[in-house]
Amino acid sequence: METTKKQESTAFKMNGNWNEQAKALQGEFSQLSDSDLEFQDGKEEELLKRVETKLNKSRQEVIELITKAQSTEKQN
């Protein structure tokens, strides 16, 4: 039987104010440019791929970073 990585194929949905989250990520990772963090509705996967590549992190690590930025935004 072939096993698949459900975690890798799980759809990610952006929540909250992306501009604020992007600023938080740029504050933590100065190598991220505005174009790396450009987001359009329905194109979350493209954003994830750009950030994965730029930071040399896994998809799950990038999702965790974005989720952390989302929770930080909610606290402010």
Q: Which residue, among 23, 20, 25, has the nearest Cα to 48 in the 3D structure?
A: 25
Give the pLDDT of the chain (76 residues) as one tens digit per residue. 444 444 445 678 888 899 999 999 999 999 999 999 999 988 999 999 999 999 999 999 999 999 888 887 667 6
Query: Cα(55)–Cα(45) distance, rounded to whole angstroms?
Result: 15
pTM check: above 0.85: no
